[in-house]
Amino acid sequence: MDGETAFRLVVAGVLVVAPTMLFLGLWRGLMALRNDDLANRTLNGEFGPISDGPIPARVFDFAAPNGGRGATADESFVRCPNCQSENPNYVDYCGDCLEPLG
């Protein structure tokens, strides 16, 4: 076996084994993150109840600092006709039920 053939076999072996090793490393890293203390405390409800549905829009602050979109002093809200939740006046769809706002 000459040097070129041996080199090609080594390159082929690396190209076959490397993706598998990278995947297994990623898998072990994800398992380590899943078994983290913070994840366990969150799943045990230490930080409050975990919602099964989407996060309601009222949880987030829609006012951007220093004159960003929606940061006016007289910011008004629009009530959704379907679920009656408050939404900022610059959105087109309700953050809770995704219905179009009037």
pLDDT of residue 43: 77
**CA 48 to CA 21: how far, in whole Å?**
38
What sign results for the dihedral spanned by CA atoms 74, 80, 86, 87? negative
54 vs 68, residue with greater confidence: 54
Which of 62, 95, 100 has its CA nearest to residue 81?
100
Q: pLDDT band at residue 61, thresholds of 50, 70 and 90?
A: low
pLDDT in tens, 83-96: 988 888 888 889 88
